[in-house]
Structure 1
Amino acid sequence: MIVRAVAAGDLAAWERLYAGYAAFYGVAQTEEMRARVWSWLMDPAHGTEGLVAEVDGVVVGIVHYRSFARPLSATIGGFLDDLFVGPEARGSGAAEALVEGVADVGRKRGWSLIRWITAEDNYRARGLYDRVAEKAKWVTYDIKL
């Protein structure tokens, strides 16, 4: 398994996986929405970046991430977004490899931590997350604008 930065040639595989991610969470996602996120990933000036997990030349998983300021600790952290592995590759270690890939980026950049959220009922993913990270004590709130 290879974990590497997302590249222009990954568009078709990325679209398939990102659409699967949206479907998993029951989010209506349009082609225009995916095109916008893809443009962010391809723009070095944008804060959103991505990695893919590849097995035998086939992209089987994706993850997006970005840095964020942590004023209280006066550090920069990394936020892991949108981790998804195709059903055909679940259990292959791709999800853990993608999490570790983001952690590697963070170590190289001097980030203080990697943070992410998941749905409370995403039990399969939480099994991995409970093994590789510490569950935060923070409760999340949203204001829809």
Structure 2
Amino acid sequence: MKRNYWFITLGISWTVVFSGISFYWAMGGLGGVRSLGGAIYEKSLNPAPSFVVIVWITGFIKLLGVVLLSMLLVTWKNSIITRILYYVTKIVGALLFLYGLLNFVTITLSALDILDFNLDSYATFWRLTFWEPFWMVGGIFYFFSVKKI
């Protein structure tokens, strides 16, 4: 498998920032949380203990991406592991990108009053200019971390 070390590094950095945001919010930080809008923002204002646990768990789940990308740096003697890492990385990258893209499309449709979402204009702006593109950029980093098997 050919590796793109530049994209692996960018992907690891992106993942650390992404999980760090979750940890910041799990510790009670509110900076940037309004930009998410909707129910997540409402729950973050007076979070139930179960909500805080979920935010912590999402932070740790996101960190699994660092493990995945770091495993690409190992030269595996077993070709099955190499193939699995290749396909898992490609699939994760595609899913991250598609998640951001589909959210971008649906939020845009909501902004055009075609769909009805519970997002104010502030959250809509930040979701379209930061959050959804952020997901897509992460997907690009993961997807292009590996080349041919």
TM, length-normalised to structure 1: 0.33
Higher strand proportion (structure 1 or 2): 1
Query: Which is bigger in relative contact order (C-alpha 8 A, separation at least 6)?
Result: 2
Between structure 1 and structure 2, the one with the greater Rg is 2
TM, length-normalised to structure 2: 0.33
Higher helix proportion (structure 1 or 2): 2
